[in-house]
Amino acid sequence: MKGRPERAMRSTQHYLNILLSLPPHLNKGETVSITTRELTKVLCCTPRNVKLILRKLLEEGFMKWQAGIGRGNSSRMTLLRDLGDVAEEYFQHQLTNDKIKEAMDLLCHKNLPPSLCNKLRAQLGARFGFQVEQTKSSIVDVLRVTMNRRLTSLDPAFVSTSTEAFFLQQFSDTLVAFDPKTKTYLPALAHNWESNEDGSRWTFYLRKGVRFHHGGLFTAKDVLFTLQRLETVHSPSRWQYEEIDHAEIVSDHIITFYLKQPNRLFLHFFGSFYMSILPYDTPFSEKKMIGIGPFRMAQFTDQVLILEAFEDFYRERPLLDRVELWFIPDDIQNSQYQLPNWNDARQEKDSPTMDIETLDGCQYVAFNFRKKGIHHQPSFRKAMRILYDRTAIIRELKGNRMAPASSFLPDKSKHVYDGERNLKEAQAYLRESGYSGETLTLYYWDKKEFLEDAQWLQLRCHSIGLPINLHPIPVTDYYSTDADQQADMLLICELLENDTEWGYLRLFQDESSFVHRFFNQEQLAWLDGHFRRYVQLPAPEERGEIIDKIEQRMREEYWIMFGYHLNKASKFHSALKGASLESFGWVDFSKLWIKQEFTSTFPRYKDTVHRVRSSTIFPID
């Protein structure tokens, strides 16, 4: 038995629900008027059951009750226990019995006082982090962390953010895998491949004996199905495969693609998360995803995503047995989850620190060239370039804003220097543009740091007589937002994958990309012409020259305004081993493990939990 019996907790829960329905700041000993009819709504039960519940609460000393005389008259309830005490008792019971969902429900209750919420949240931290759990049959290594938002689509055809892409890669695998150290592709589900001399025909040789999470064997049919599905569901990534003339399944483990024109980067397309292989014989379900990744999806609800190690994974099995991600609203936690501090100060002192270098990609402002407005005037965009001073925003807002950007890649932004620009110069450009006092709308990614940036820019614009309305875009509205029609400008961040060549293609070619959605047909046609040549060039240096030319024109004509590059740092406790950083600054879950000497000796035949705690920060979002 882990705590009080569930039956004994029912009265506590009923009393807690009543307290949370009452006006705030009521203390022990106070009396409040309430009717039975009101309690039927609070307790979601019939008047008869309300009376039974009240009788139990009286017997167990939660309150005193004086019934109202006459039909419809209020009764008098005297509180004998404080909200804080009852909430903490209930919360601890749920945690002790591993009922994280029920604990989360209380933590997220709209009427829970902020001070009590913070207190309970601190207690919640003790249940998170790296844990070693022992049952009668096995020892299980568990990583339990929180996220400040629910995941959007995990459908490979519609993944739109770095977080979703990362988790998709835990469940799925692709034919080839990019190696950031050598900048080349390595075998994955395909153990080998070949192409003709000009790159217009590609053949993949698939591994044998590879199984999906549902036990089915992987074959060439699954590759073809995954590819054809992108067109069937109208994926914004289908542009990558439009040059395929036809595909030929040579055998269960050999498939050949014939292209309409040469494509030297065709390998990159089959290493992208969009081509995460799905089984052809199973209907796709985001809540019960079937893939070939190192983890299988054990549970996916509005509150939790649980990953369990896939025992039949064709490569090295994950060292962690289970990963749990619990979703907590942004207003009750930081955007990153910090694991609890290690109790032994000496061990914490010895913790190594891993600093993540500045991430590929940057924060930027894009102009919506598909909407009419003053922002089509070059002089207006010049004024905005002065207002959006990338050096000033880094200096004034600090945080993880690390370096001014003039490119999506940090290595190409090293020599950025705007100099000190006078706001009067921006005002002069504004007058030159023909601006007549209209209010513009700036959409921004609905996260704390983007709101800070947007408000900073709004104040700068206001100082020269340029009113700006701010409008957030929730992550869940990535595809459905009306920014394409209503926004004059957009403030957003784009992080590129380790495979930056493919990242550039996705940024400019994907229909879901905001750069693609904000550029007009003339701009897109110009880009398309360059990228058609881009994929045919054999040398990376030649392809790099095309990217430089594209970014140069974007800078000179102010198609977008580059902002700054971001930097993330992670600190790992000595007990945490195998931490390696993947795309977007994530820690690869499949390689993590806990060094046993930092945990207690496991008692036999008892349900126990041993926690390895650290100040590790995971870039959850």
CATH code for the domain in which residue 363 is found:
3.10.105.10
DSSP-assigned beta bridge partners for residue 129: 144
Closest CA to 151 of 474, 452, 590: 474
As a whole number of angstroms, the distance between CA 295 and CA 458 comes to 44
Decide: 581 and 381 in contact? Cβ < 8 Å.
no
Which residue spans within 50-108 are E strands per DSSP?
63-66, 75-79
Pick the last residue of a domain from 60, 91, 123: 123
Decide: 441 and 488 in contact? Cβ < 8 Å.
yes
Residue 384 lies in a domain: yes
One domain, residues 93 and 196: no
Closest CA to 560 of 363, 392, 417: 363
One domain, residues 176 and 322: yes
As a whole number of angstroms, the distance between CA 547 and CA 249 comes to 35
Q: Which helix (H) or strand (E) holds 197?
A: none
Residue 348 lies in a domain: no
Q: Is 600 helix (H, G, I), strand (E, B) or coil?
A: coil
Q: Is 429 helix (H, G, I), strand (E, B) or coil?
A: helix
One domain, residues 312 and 173: yes
Mean pLDDT of 600-616: 37
* For residue 591, pLDDT beyond 80: no
* Helix-helix angle 448-462:378-387, to 10 degrees: 110
Which range is least confidently modeled, 124-128, 160-164, 219-223, 228-232? 124-128
As a whole number of angstroms, the distance between CA 304 and CA 407 comes to 37
Residue 100 lies in a domain: yes
Residue 352 lies in a domain: no
Residue type, 117: C
Structure tokens at 341: 């501090």
As a whole number of angstroms, the distance between CA 341 and CA 321 comes to 23
As a whole number of angstroms, the distance between CA 169 and CA 357 comes to 22
- In angstroms, the first-to-last Cα distance of the chain is 37
One domain, residues 499 and 549: yes
Residue type, 598: F
Pick the last residue of a domain from 123, 142, 159: 123
For residue 55, give the CATH number of its domain: 1.10.10.10
One domain, residues 336 and 375: no
Q: Output the CA–CA distances (angstroms, integers) from residue 97 to 302, 430, 503, 508, 547, in the order listed.
A: 21, 63, 45, 50, 55
Q: What is the pLDDT of residues 224-243, one digit of tens each?
A: 999 999 999 999 999 989 88
Q: Is 504 helix (H, G, I), strand (E, B) or coil?
A: helix
One domain, residues 181 and 200: yes
373: left (phi over 0), alpha (psi -120 to 50) or beta: left
Decide: 358 and 567 in contact? Cβ < 8 Å.
yes
Q: How many domains does the chain have?
A: 3
One domain, residues 155 and 304: yes
One domain, residues 247 and 385: no
Per-residue confidence (pLDDT) for residue 62, from 0 to 100: 92
Per-residue confidence (pLDDT) for residue 151, from 0 to 100: 83
One domain, residues 327 and 412: no
- Indicate the pLDDT class of residue 496, thresholds 50, 70 and 90: confident
Q: Which helix (H) or strand (E) holds 81?
A: none
Decide: 69 and 59 in contact? Cβ < 8 Å.
no
Per-residue confidence (pLDDT) for residue 347, from 0 to 100: 39
One domain, residues 112 and 145: no
Residue corresponding to tokens 């992108």: 230
One domain, residues 154 and 302: yes
Q: What is the pLDDT of residues 264-322, one digit of tens each?
A: 999 999 999 999 999 999 999 999 999 999 999 999 988 889 999 999 999 999 989 99
Mean pLDDT of 210-231: 97
For residue 177, give the CATH number of its domain: 3.40.190.10
Residue 48 lies in a domain: yes
Per-residue confidence (pLDDT) for residue 203, from 0 to 100: 98
**Mean of per-residue pLDDT scores for the chain:** 85
Percentage of residues of the chain with pLDDT beyond 90: 56
Residue 119 lies in a domain: yes
Supply the pTM of this predicted model. Answer: 0.78
* Helix-helix angle 6-21:47-59, to 10 degrees: 110
Range of the domain at 194: 128-343+574-620
Which residue spans within 332-466 are E strands per DSSP?
337-338, 353-355, 361-367, 401-404, 440-445
- Indicate the pLDDT class of residue 593, thresholds 50, 70 and 90: confident
Residue 351 lies in a domain: no
Q: What is the pLDDT of residues 505-520, one digit of tens each?
A: 999 999 989 999 999 9
Residue 350 lies in a domain: no
Q: Which helix (H) or strand (E) holds 39?
A: helix 36-43
Q: What is the pLDDT of residues 342-369, one digit of tens each?
A: 333 333 444 444 445 557 889 999 999 9
* For residue 341, pLDDT beyond 50: no
Pick the last residue of a domain from 550, 568, 586: 568
One domain, residues 215 and 323: yes
